[in-house]
Amino acid sequence: METELSGVNVPGWPPRSRAEDEDFARAVDGGAPSTEDDELAVVGALRGLGDLGTLDQATRHRIHSGIIERLAPAGEQDQPRRPQVLAGVLVAAAAAVLIVGALGMLLSKDALPGDTLYDVKRAGESASLGLTFDEQGKAAKYLEFAGTRLDELAALHGKGAAESGYRRVLADFTTDAANGAARLSVLGVEDGGVQLTELQGWTRQQATRLVTAKADLPPSASAGYETSVALLSRIDARAGALAARLQCYLITAGESDDLGAVPATGPCDPPQGNQGTAQGEPPPATEPGPRQDLSDGTVPMPTQRFLSQLDSPAPTPPSPTAPGAVSAPPVIPPPIPTPTGPRLPSTPAKPPLLSIPPLIPGLPGLGIG
């Protein structure tokens, strides 16, 4: 069914419904009254709420700021976190480097010259030496590394390594042994000779190992072998010479070379105080004897003689209590005795009485004390 409205046919809209809607629209617009008062009350309430919902400028600014703050973490808060993320990455990278380094040191323990990890092994030895600060520890490290070089020398033969590996091991052995002996010779003079005896024992052990490995060395390494044995012979002679002068007035010549302290030459004068000289007066000067030059590579003891004595125990430094040894210098009292003052009283003395004359004539005076 079609209905005509202002010349327009509106299907499905009956005339009665259309009349009611028109009456309600006129009532809302303030026109003719309508019987639907409840609906008009709702319309009036909604119009009142529209007036109350108007926001002032301050409220709008506060709402705008709140929205901006809530949207900021999505973009702007990532900026301060970048240094923290970078620090975390650096810490993780450092930990990875340490782990890889520790793993490399573990795997390079048995590396030999020519292996990929051999340089890692030597770098670890250098780092260990750098972390040792006392001279006794450094000397022990050098001698330990020298012994490791001889272990590598024995392992090279079974591996069929190149001849350059033999030469490198012998050269490094010579360097480490000289550095360790130079420090122990100085410490032995200062500490009574214990380190000198230990150095002689270590020297003869390494010489025995070198003699054992000689048959497996290639011809190109013979020069390095001779240099290493000659060095051990010099170290043994130097330690023995210093130990023999421990009871002399002059132990060293005040000089040093590649093996450390150089022993003094000439007669072994007893320590100061055993010659009956006045206190503070040095012993009579003596003409120094001929001195051997130990810094030019010459060997005080022939190498063959040194090798023939490898089976004999290392000599011990002379003891002060042994028969024939020079006794320790006596204790000489000071030339001027310490003066003894008067004995102090057991109870403190009373201070003297201080009298003050009267300020006004006729009054008694005052006494303090």
Task: Look at residue 281 in the predicted model and tell me its pLDDT.
Answer: 46
Contact 248, 289 (CB under 8 A): no
Query: Is the residue at 343 inside a domain?
Result: no
Asked if residue 270 and residue 186 are part of one domain, the reply reads yes
Q: Alpha-carbon distance 181 to 346, whole Å?
A: 62
Radius of gyration of the chain (CA): 52
Asked if residue 204 and residue 301 are part of one domain, the reply reads yes
Asked if residue 121 and residue 139 are part of one domain, the reply reads no
Query: Is the residue at 67 inside a domain?
Result: no
Asked if residue 197 and residue 166 are part of one domain, the reply reads yes
Asked if residue 154 and residue 301 are part of one domain, the reply reads yes
Q: Which two tokens stand for residue 118?
A: 């051999």
Q: Alpha-carbon distance 70 to 102, whole Å?
A: 48
User: What residues contact 128, with CB distance under 8 A and at least 6 apart?
Assistant: 141
Nearest CA to 153 out of 171, 141, 140 is that of 171
Asked if residue 37 and residue 111 are part of one domain, the reply reads no
Asked if residue 173 and residue 112 are part of one domain, the reply reads no
User: What residues contact 245, with CB distance under 8 A and at least 6 apart?
Assistant: 251, 252, 263, 264, 268
Contacts 24+ apart (CB under 8 A), 284-292: 288/264, 289/265, 290/265, 291/253, 291/265, 292/265
Enter the DSSP assignment of 6.
T
Q: Which domain holds residue 28?
A: 1-51
| H helices present in 320-365, as ranges | none
Vertex 327 angle, CA 284 and 234, to 5°? 75
Task: Look at residue 61 in the predicted model and tell me its pLDDT.
Answer: 82
Exposed / middle / buried, residue 301 (Cβ in 10 Å: 0-12, 13-18, 19+): middle
Task: Look at residue 345 in the predicted model and tell me its pLDDT.
Answer: 47
In this structure, which amino acid lies at residue 76? E
* Structural domain ending residue among the three candidates 107, 125, 143: 125
The pTM of this model reads 0.55
| CA end-to-end distance (rounded Å), the chain | 139
Low-confidence ranges of the chain (pLDDT < 50): 1-7, 275-301, 317-318, 320-346
Q: Which two tokens stand for residue 322?
A: 């042994």
Q: Alpha-carbon distance 201 to 243, whole Å?
A: 13
**Hey, how many other C-beta atoms are within 10 angstroms of the C-beta on 60?**
10
Query: Is the residue at 263 inside a domain?
Result: yes
Query: Is the residue at 14 inside a domain?
Result: yes
Query: Is the residue at 69 inside a domain?
Result: no
Query: Is the residue at 83 inside a domain?
Result: no
Contact 306, 232 (CB under 8 A): yes
Query: Is the residue at 361 inside a domain?
Result: no
- For the residues of 131-149, what is the DSSP string, one character each? T--SHHHHHHHHHHHHHHH
Asked if residue 105 and residue 163 are part of one domain, the reply reads no
User: What residues contact 291, with CB distance under 8 A and at least 6 apart?
Assistant: 253, 265
pLDDT tens column, 63-122: 888 888 777 665 555 555 566 667 777 777 777 666 765 665 566 688 899 888 898 899
Asked if residue 233 and residue 187 are part of one domain, the reply reads yes
Number of domains in the chain: 3
Asked if residue 206 and residue 267 are part of one domain, the reply reads yes
Helix (H, G, I), strand (E, B) or coil at 4: strand
Query: Is the residue at 323 inside a domain?
Result: no
Q: Alpha-carbon distance 253 to 180, whole Å?
A: 20
Asked if residue 303 and residue 158 are part of one domain, the reply reads yes
Nearest CA to 244 out of 232, 252, 256, 234 is that of 252
Asked if residue 188 and residue 224 are part of one domain, the reply reads yes
